[in-house]
Structure 1
Amino acid sequence: MRSKLFVPGVRPELFAKALAGDADALSFDLEDSVPEARKGEARESVSALLQSAPLLATAKIVVVRVNALDTPHLAADLAAVARTGVDLINLPKVESAQDVLAAVALLEKAEATNGVAQPVGLLANIETPRGLRLAAEIASAHPRVAGLQLGLADLFQPLGIDRRDPANVHATLYAMRMAAAEAAVFAWDAAFADIGDADGFRAEAGMARRLGYVGKSCIHPSQVALANQAFQPDAEEIAAARRIVAAAREAGAAGRGAFLVDGRMVDLPFLKRAEAILASADANTSAS
């Protein structure tokens, strides 16, 4: 899930191109990219796509960002897009466990109506001060919550927080990552609005990866390759991980819990990280 590309629900001419592109995940958007007067149109376009053969055949992770609980659109959105083939519903501006439970109730009703057998997961957006403070509670609210996604624009802009200050970004990324870790769900990084600033995107994506995020949102196809590169383990990391896993097998056979690899003492936390790196590399190879 290195890259997740937002696709406006009112731009059906972009759907086929997105499905054929290199993003690991696609997020068909009914929220911010859709004007109020066109919400119904976007809902119908995305619903039709979700029931189409190309979508049902894709190996990509399929996400739909619906409108928030405090809008008049959420129930209709879920009724239209809670479909077989959708992996995650992205719920914006979640601020409490109660928000999650309310959304799950609506989602369950929509799934029952549409005959969905495999429950759809929730990706909860953390993009308000209260949401960030209660992020661990939100992530733990229901088994359907698969991950948290950061929304830095909505969080920072109203408060006058400088997005270009790496300290501000790091502090917020860290806080949400710890909340996700407490609930044992994944953390997905925010979008980066300056499409022309590839270096800025790389820097922010690199920071997120070093904090244990699984991938970054993209608002333009040109950002997809940058995200894929940033979250792809390099050859040196993969080789080091393989050495740790191999050494762990030998240590286990000898009854040792800690051992040396490349001059460094290694125990269970390092082994888990090495196994995660290899799993990520294998998954990314399969997706390519």
Structure 2
Amino acid sequence: MDINALQTLLFVPANRPERFDKALASGADAIIIDLEDAVPAAEKDAASSTLSAWLDEQPANSVLIRINATGSPWFSQDTNLCRSAAVAGIVVPKADDPTALAELANICDKPLLPFIESALAFTRLNEIAAVSGVSRLLFGKLDLALDLGMDYPPPASEPLDESAFLYARSQLVMCSRVHGLGAPIDAIFTALYDAKGLTDYARQGMRLGFSGFLLIHPAQVIPAQKALTPTSAQISWAKHILDAEQREKGAVVAVSGNMVDTPVMARAKRIMESASGFST
């Protein structure tokens, strides 16, 4: 599993083993088996035992696991579980301590995907991103909103306004780039069956520089993939740009009244490469 290439990551509760294989067949790039928030405390030990047996039957590097937080009663058993060859990487909740992340990397020797979901984590973002073993950053929007006392999420009857998270999202994108990490993975979209809403939400994240999305239901896989596919308007625009580049041999040129230089041409090439990847 190439952690940096993952774009759709589907959560499945660790206490629902009957869903594991269905999640693997959902079309998502990877599944995250969740031992943390999705599993009640009284069921965590049984979930860990069942998951251990299931992992023994899986191919190497086939799943991700979200462990319980450092300092929780289940942390040690979770880290032991992550030594399984089937585990490709570890999703770390409430990651705000770079030292603890470094220790986890040494214990498990697996790529880490820390959830950035508190004010403290954002103040330490550079140190977290610099930890050896950290591969990508995940945005924990709901926990951040709770930590900051934000008026979010709104009631179902009110529009979803993501503008309050612009600063946080931009920090994740910038920091990932500076530290040579893969582009960050955006927070969940809580409406399970709002396909258009999810596609629009994911495209907003892509405009900011995210390239992956956390999903919580198999019904969200196709709308997320649609967001990742260049639109017909984007493809048409890119073709015009590249036609002009070919005519002018890479020189700065005006297309439809807009200046086109090297960064714009590179963007057009990226769109066409992405469109080609989805058409194969």
Please classify the TM superposition score into its range, dividing by the shorter chain length: 0.7 to 0.9
Could you tell me which residue of structure 2 aligns to residue 27 of structure 1? 32
Q: SS of the residue aligned with 2:225?
A: helix
2-structure distance, mates of 1:222, 1:98: 38
Amino acid across the alignment from 1:123: L
Could you tell me which residue of structure 1 aligns to residue 78 of structure 2? 77
Whether the aligned pair in 2 keeps the contact of 1:6 and 1:29 (CA below 8 Å) is yes
Verify: 1:141 aligned to 2:144, yes or no.
Answer: no
Q: SS of the residue aligned with 2:113?
A: strand
Whether the aligned pair in 2 keeps the contact of 1:244 and 1:261 (CA below 8 Å) is no
Could you tell me which residue of structure 1 aligns to residue 101 of structure 2? 100
1-structure distance, mates of 2:244, 2:50: 53
Could you tell me which residue of structure 2 aligns to residue 112 of structure 1? none
Query: 1:191-230 alignment to 2 at 5 Å?
Result: 191-230=188-227
Share of identical aligned residues, percent? 33
- 1:181-231 Cα offsets, whole Å, 9 max, x none, are 222222001112232544543443221111111121111122222211122
Whether the aligned pair in 2 keeps the contact of 1:27 and 1:63 (CA below 8 Å) is yes
Whether the aligned pair in 1 keeps the contact of 2:60 and 2:85 (CA below 8 Å) is no
Amino acid across the alignment from 1:262: V
Whether the aligned pair in 2 keeps the contact of 1:75 and 1:106 (CA below 8 Å) is no
Verify: 1:161 aligned to 2:166, yes or no.
Answer: no
CA displacement at 1:244 relative to structure 2:
5.2
- 1:26-75 Cα offsets, whole Å, 9 max, x none, are 111111101112222222232333332xx4289xx632111111213223
Amino acid across the alignment from 1:50: L
2-structure distance, mates of 1:150, 1:41: 29
Distance 1:35 1:177, change over 3 A: same
Q: SS of the residue aligned with 2:191?
A: coil
Whether the aligned pair in 1 keeps the contact of 2:119 and 2:148 (CA below 8 Å) is no
So what's the TM-score if we normalise by structure 1? 0.80
**Count of residues in Structure 1 that have an aligned counterpart in Structure 2:** 266
Query: 1:16-95 alignment to 2 at 5 Å?
Result: 16-52=21-57, 55-56=58-59, 62-95=63-96
Whether the aligned pair in 1 keeps the contact of 2:113 and 2:138 (CA below 8 Å) is yes
2-structure distance, mates of 1:88, 1:243: 41
Whether the aligned pair in 1 keeps the contact of 2:244 and 2:255 (CA below 8 Å) is no
- 1:153-192 Cα offsets, whole Å, 9 max, x none, are 1110243213343221323222222222222222001112
Q: SS of the residue aligned with 1:93?
A: coil
Amino acid across the alignment from 1:220: H
- 1:80-104 Cα offsets, whole Å, 9 max, x none, are 1233343321111111321321211
Could you tell me which residue of structure 1 aligns to residue 17 of structure 2? 12
Whether the aligned pair in 1 keeps the contact of 2:35 and 2:48 (CA below 8 Å) is yes
1-structure distance, mates of 2:151, 2:193: 19
2-structure distance, mates of 1:162, 1:199: 24
CA displacement at 1:271 relative to structure 2:
4.4
Distance 1:174 1:107, change over 3 A: same
So what's the TM-score if we normalise by structure 2? 0.82
The range that moved more, 164-173 or 124-133, is 164-173
**Structure 2: gaps spanning 5 or more residues:** 1-5, 153-159
Q: CA RMSD in A?
A: 2.7
Whether the aligned pair in 1 keeps the contact of 2:202 and 2:213 (CA below 8 Å) is yes
Distance 1:23 1:259, change over 3 A: same
**Structure 1: gaps spanning 5 or more residues:** 109-119
Could you tell me which residue of structure 1 aligns to residue 156 of structure 2? none
Distance 1:199 1:169, change over 3 A: farther
Whether the aligned pair in 2 keeps the contact of 1:2 and 1:232 (CA below 8 Å) is no
Distance 1:14 1:105, change over 3 A: same
